[in-house]
């Protein structure tokens, strides 16, 4: 078994068993701001799988997002309250929302990818790998320079999670109307 496979296994085991170290980590994160920059990834094996390299201009951000369904205000105007509904499922995944929040906070960076690191109650934690657009080290890297050229990746749904909620991650039967977008196909 390789070193990274062992690392992935221990991280997954911590999450499944809810070890003491995992609980202390989550309690520490809950006191931090909802979008905060960190020195290095918590799950280094997963981060490397998604393209993380310990280079100048590569930033890792931890984001806290509320999970579950979205609660909306009840409609007024004399309608029957039971027909308005209270909880609605989101169109985007919490991971995609985390990517967008990170991109908004760090506007000089571009989102490369993200991964799940933990959850406590209704809160979910994701780490987002971001690239500085102006860093010469990032621009000289062939893999990173392609990502940096796509401005606003997270908000346009070009990341892996974004493509997933747009419905274009997989090609095949039943995906014809997803290209170029659901909205474009709905126009008529």
Bridge partners (DSSP) listed for residue 129: 60, 113
pLDDT at 188 over 80: no
pLDDT at 32 over 70: yes
112: exposed, middle or buried (Cβ count in 10 Å: 0-12, 13-18, 19+): buried
Closest CA to 115 of 100, 125, 104: 125
Q: Give the Cβ contact number of residue 33 at 10 Å.
A: 10
User: What three-state secondary structure class fits 71?
Assistant: strand
8: exposed, middle or buried (Cβ count in 10 Å: 0-12, 13-18, 19+): middle
pLDDT higher for 82 or 33?
33
CATH class name, domain 33-181: alpha beta
pLDDT confidence of residue 1 = 66
User: What residue ranges in the chain does DSSP mark as E strands?
Assistant: 35-38, 58-66, 70-71, 87-88, 109-120, 123-132
Mean pLDDT of the chain: 87
Tell me the average pLDDT across 89-118: 93
pLDDT at 79 over 70: yes
pLDDT at 83 over 80: no
Domain boundaries, given as residue ranges, for the chain = 33-181
């Amino acid at each position: 078994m390789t070193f990274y496979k062992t690392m992935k296994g221990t991280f997954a085991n911590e999450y499944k068993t809810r070890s003491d170290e995992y609980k202390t980590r989550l309690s520490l994160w809950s006191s931090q701001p909802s979008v905060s920059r960190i020195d290095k990834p918590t799950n280094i094996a997963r981060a490397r799988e998604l393209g993380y390299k310990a280079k100048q201009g590569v930033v890792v951000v931890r984001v806290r997002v509320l999970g579950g369904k979205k609660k909306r205000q009840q409609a007024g105007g004399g309608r029957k309250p039971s027909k308005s509904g209270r909880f609605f499922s989101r169109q985007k995944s919490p991971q995609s929302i985390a990517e967008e929040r990170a991109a908004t906070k760090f506007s000089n960076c571009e989102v490369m990818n993200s991964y799940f690191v933990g959850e406590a109650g209704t809160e979910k934690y994701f780490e987002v790998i971001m690239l500085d657009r102006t860093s010469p080290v990032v621009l000289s890297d062939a893999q990173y320079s392609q990502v940096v050229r796509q401005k606003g990746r997270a908000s346009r749904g070009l990341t892996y999670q974004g493509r997933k909620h747009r419905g274009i991650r997989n090609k095949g039967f039943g995906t014809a109307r997803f290209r170029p977008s659901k909205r474009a196909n709905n126009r008529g």
